Structure 1
Amino acid sequence: MKLDFLKKFKNTYFKYVESLSPQEKQKIEGYLYITLTLFTVSFFGFFAITPTLSTISNLDKQYKDNNLVYEALNKKLGNLQLLDFQYREIQPDLEFIYSAIPRSAKIPYLGRQLENIAINNNVSVAKLNFNSVEIYPNKKIDPIFSFNFVINVIGKEADVNNFIADIINFDRIIGIDRIITGKDEENKQLASITGRAYFSDK
């Protein structure tokens, strides 16, 4: 039934075309070529454009992701610049902080400092001992360590008192655990000072 219809349509179409003038046939052929051309362009254009649209979508996503990364990097850079500015602000004070609590025990250096303080106050050092420092294994959460020292000095009473005051007030933080004073056979002032010095391992 369907084939008969197609045959009748074909015969009718050819009869209609044969009855047309050459100019009309030329117009129909032109319309037919235009229609086929538009259909072909649309058909293949669809498959050509689809990957392009997908590429554009991916590029747009990458652009947005890159913008997020760029903004995050800018924020991090701003924070680093702020930290650098704050560090420069406190940098002049760091020397005083490291002098007060040095990053290591610096026992020989502390010994020379105590001897110089004694010389400046006209007292003689009769004894200077430092206790051992255990820093390993470090089971402390607090990074501040300390060690004891004992220094015995001899001199005039005023000079000994000045020596004690200078130890308490000089640039490194020193805690005084005990002070024993007295007189020797020559009536000179004696002082035995047990102190504690602090340092950090950071």
Structure 2
Amino acid sequence: MNKQQSSPAKHDTEYDINKDTAAKGHEAVLALLSRNDVQAYSMVIFSLLALAFFSIFAIKPTLTSFFDLQRQIADAKMLDQELTTKIRTLLRVQEEYYRIREDLVMIDQALPADPAFSSLLKKIEQVTADEQTTVSTFTTEDFSLLEEGGTHMTKDDEIGNVSFSLETDAPYPNSEALIRRLLNLRRMIFINRLELISNERSTTPVVQMEISAQTFHLNK
């Protein structure tokens, strides 16, 4: 009977001891945390933990974006340099083209891409009319106005030619002026033969002139 009554008292005593121990431990912890050095160390530890957390979730993406931007800026600078170089090259080419543009036009007129004999014939007619010379005959064996190609030559060579002959009647000064005008045409003309025949029976100083010449063109 006595043993059964002492058991609750024993449990109460153990509970009081544990409670006192917990209280003392809590007071010890509070006392420890209240120390300046412990608080300083705690602040350092918490700061390091916060910095690590901030570095992982905030600084790292920012640094990644920063390096990506640096790479993009470097690529943009390189592209800009390449474009600048190309633009300068194009400007030099354009400047050179403008400088020789008139020469290119004259080259195209002197050596056209096709016979263009109809155009040359009109120029010859205009020159002979300006110099008051009478054309008695005009012949060509290599060209036909009825054919689109205009020439019967083969296209093995890069440069083709069309031969023609011309006979005129005019005073000597007019004939001389005609020759000079023909040679000064922008269309390239090479005179193979030139013969002047004086008509002694004529009352006027008329000279018969026979011209054998060639003009050139590019073969397509």
TM-score class, shorter-chain normalisation, is 0.5 to 0.7
1:39-188 to structure 2, matched below 5 A, reads 39-43=49-53, 45-46=55-56, 48-91=58-101, 95-130=105-140, 131-132=142-143, 140=157, 144-182=159-197
Structure 1 pair 124–137 and aligned structure 2 pair: CA distance change class (3 A): closer
Helix, strand or coil at the partner of 1:35 = helix
Structure 1 pair 107–186 and aligned structure 2 pair: CA distance change class (3 A): farther
Query: C-alpha distance in 2, partners of 1:15/1:135?
Result: 125
Do the aligned partners of 2:194 and 2:211 also contact (CA within 8 Å) in 1?
yes
Q: Which of 20, 23, 40 pairs up with 2:28?
A: 20
- Please report the TM-score for the alignment, with normalisation by the length of structure 1: 0.66
Query: C-alpha distance in 1, partners of 2:86/2:46?
Result: 60
Structure 1 pair 171–29 and aligned structure 2 pair: CA distance change class (3 A): closer
Select the structure of larger CA radius of gyration. 2
Question: What is residue 191 of structure 1 aligned with on the other side?
Answer: 209
1:107-133 CA distance string (max 9 Å, x none): 222111111222223321122234235
Helix, strand or coil at the partner of 1:176 = strand
Letter aligned with residue 118 of structure 1: T
Identity of aligned residues (%): 20
Structure 1 pair 102–35 and aligned structure 2 pair: CA distance change class (3 A): same
Query: C-alpha distance in 1, partners of 2:45/2:212?
Result: 109
Do the aligned partners of 2:115 and 2:151 also contact (CA within 8 Å) in 1?
no
Q: For structure 1, which segment, 162-171 or 126-135, has the greater mean C-alpha deviation from structure 2 after superposition?
A: 126-135
